[in-house]
Each structure stands twice: as structure tokens, then as C-alpha cells.
């Protein structure tokens, strides 16, 4: 194990190097900020070519997977760097040559859900809460706008993105966002790994991931650039985006001008 108890991200190998474990370690919020994004990027880069690796299990310390990205880093003067780093991580995860299993308990919101969407199967409790609440702050979720339509149907994707509402783990499973509901989703993910991934050839898994994800990867690279431009050049020049973020940080209701 290479992690320490105080690191924002725990990183270690299990099953004789066959399973990479990544654990967000800043409970209870487990905010996906610049520091967390950088640590996740480093971990995926470091293990991309690990011999014999057959999967990744991503989970979180504490009662919640993640409350989302840092709102402070969404402010106009900082959001360009934040988006660039997060979207680079999303591409790294989608292109990672082995399945990424994600375990969700409690809240999995905003940037936290975008990270989960970039992986593979999601294992969650029935009462978990998954959502993209960005619209409540006067902004939208760029990466989720690209990823959600690949995970659920267009109607459900638009519902989650426009309403900003959270859905339970059970409702998320019904729409195809979550693959497995369990009272112990970590154990369920480990059992899935042991039964379906551990016995396989790492080389064959890498080819299978590349084959099935090729269309997503091609589209995602172009689409992330499009939505990033929309976010920075149009959205962040509106009154309401800046007002919504400021209101959240000041813990007051926003005053929309609809411009």
C-alpha cells in the first residue's frame, strides 16, 4: 500500500497487483478540487501500463462519495484551469485500458458524479443520491452533458441536467445509470471483480475496453472542447452564472436577471 492516512487520495494494489484501489479520502464532502483531480490523474497515469492489472475500484472514505467540485474553483477567474484539469482526467479515465468500478454511498453530486460517469459500472446503495445540481447555481455540468447521454437515454439525461435534481440509487438503476444496488456496494464490486475480471487476460480486457469505447472517446474529445468553450465564452459572461456562484458562497438565495 502506498497511501498514508492523511493523503486526500488513498492508492494501493490488491489481489497480487491485479486490482488498483483508489479511495477519495477527505470525508465527509470528498470535494473534487484541483488537488484531488491532480492526485487522481497521477494515480491513473502511474498505473496505466501496470503488468497484470485487470481493473480499478474507485470508492470514498466516509458516508458520501462526493459533494462535487469546488465552487470556489468555478468562479470566473479560476474556472478555465479547473475545467481543463477535470476534463483531462475524464479523458484519462474513459481511455484507461481496464474497467473502472465505482462504489457510491451517500451523495454523489456534480463533479463527483462526472468522475463516476467516466468509469465503468457503478455499484451503489438504494438510498444513495446521484445528481448534477449545477443548474441551481446558474451554471451547467460540461462533462456530464457529454457523458450522461451515453449512460442513460437522452430524456433522462436532460431531466437530470436541466432540473438539477438528485435521484436515489434505486431510481438511478432503473434508468441505467447504476448497474448494481447493494447494501454493501464495495463487497458487490469486489465480488464482480473476482468473478468476472480477475480470471481474464489483462491484454484481452484492454482490447475489449478500447473496442467498446472507441466511439465514445472520439466524440468525447470533440464534445468536451465544445462545452468548455460554451462554458467559458458564453455562460461565464452572464450575470446569472456569476450571481449563482456568489450566492452559494454567501449562503443566500440568488437574484436572477435571466441574462
Structural domains in the chain?
1-184+201-259 (3.90.226.10)
pLDDT at 242 over 70: yes
Cβ neighbours around 26 below 10 Å, total: 19
pLDDT at 85 over 90: yes
Instruction: Please name the residue ranges forming H helices in the chain.
Output: 34-47, 79-95, 111-117, 142-151, 154-163, 169-174, 185-192, 202-233, 239-250
**pLDDT digit string, tens, across residues 104-140:** 999 999 999 999 999 999 999 999 999 999 999 999 9
pLDDT at 184 over 50: yes
pLDDT band at 1; cut points 50, 70, 90: very low
Question: How far is C-alpha 193 from the chain's CA centre?
Answer: 20
Residue 237: what pLDDT?
A: 97
User: Are 161 and 113 a contacting pair, CB within 8 Å?
Assistant: no
Total residues found in the chain within this entry: 259
Q: Mean pLDDT throughout 33-44?
A: 98
User: Are 210 and 106 a contacting pair, CB within 8 Å?
Assistant: no
d(CA 34, CA 178): 26
Among residues 125, 71, 111, 5, the alpha carbon closest in space to that of 246 is found at 71
Q: How far is CA 205 from CA 10, 98, 168, 201, in A?
A: 25, 6, 31, 6
Residues ≥6 apart with Cβ < 8 Å to 209: 96, 97, 98, 99
Q: Mean pLDDT throughout 181-209?
A: 98
Mean pLDDT of the chain: 96
pLDDT at 46 over 90: yes
pLDDT band at 238; cut points 50, 70, 90: very high
Give percent above pLDDT 90 in the chain.
Answer: 97
pLDDT band at 6; cut points 50, 70, 90: confident
125 grid coordinates? 446503495
User: Are 32 and 111 a contacting pair, CB within 8 Å?
Assistant: yes
> pTM surpassing 0.75?
yes
Residue 195: what pLDDT?
A: 98
Amino acid at each position: 500500500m502506498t497511501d498514508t492516512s492523511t493523503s486526500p487520495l488513498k492508492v494501493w494494489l490488491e489481489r497480487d497487483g491485479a486490482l488498483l484501489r483508489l479511495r477519495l479520502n477527505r470525508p465527509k464532502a470528498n470535494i473534487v478540487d484541483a488537488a484531488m483531480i491532480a492526485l487522481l490523474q497521477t494515480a491513473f497515469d502511474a498505473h496505466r501500463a501496470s503488468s497484470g492489472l485487470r481493473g480499478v475500484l474507485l470508492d470514498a472514505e466516509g458516508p458520501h462519495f462526493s459533494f462535487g467540485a469546488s465552487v470556489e474553483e468555478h468562479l470566473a477567474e479560476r474556472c478555465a484551469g479547473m475545467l481543463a484539469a477535470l476534463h483531462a482526467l475524464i479523458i484519462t479515465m474513459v481511455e484507461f485500458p481496464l474497467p473502472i468500478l465505482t462504489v457510491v454511498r451517500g451523495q454523489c453530486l456534480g463533479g463527483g458524479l462526472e468522475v463516476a460517469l467516466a468509469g465503468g459500472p457503478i455499484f451503489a446503495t438504494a438510498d444513495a443520491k446521484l445528481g448534477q445540481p449545477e443548474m441551481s447555481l446558474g451554471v451547467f455540468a460540461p462533462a456530464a452533458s457529454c457523458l450522461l447521454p451515453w449512460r442513460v437515454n437522452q430524456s433522462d439525461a436532460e431531466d437530470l441536467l436541466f432540473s438539477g435534481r438528485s435521484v436515489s440509487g434505486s431510481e438511478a438503476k432503473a434508468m441505467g445509470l447504476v448497474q448494481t444496488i447493494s447494501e454493501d456496494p464495495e463487497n458487490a464490486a469486489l465480488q464482480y471483480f473476482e468473478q468476472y475480471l480477475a480470471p481474464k487476460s489483462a491484454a484481452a480486457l484492454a482490447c475489449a475496453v478500447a473496442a467498446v469505447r472507441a466511439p465514445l472517446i472520439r466524440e468525447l474529445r470533440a464534445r468536451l472542447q465544445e462545452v468548455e468553450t460554451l462554458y467559458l465564452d458564453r455562460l461565464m459572461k452572464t450575470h446569472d452564472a456569476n450571481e449563482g456562484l456568489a450566492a452559494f458562497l454567501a449562503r443566500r438565495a440568488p437574484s436572477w436577471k435571466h441574462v
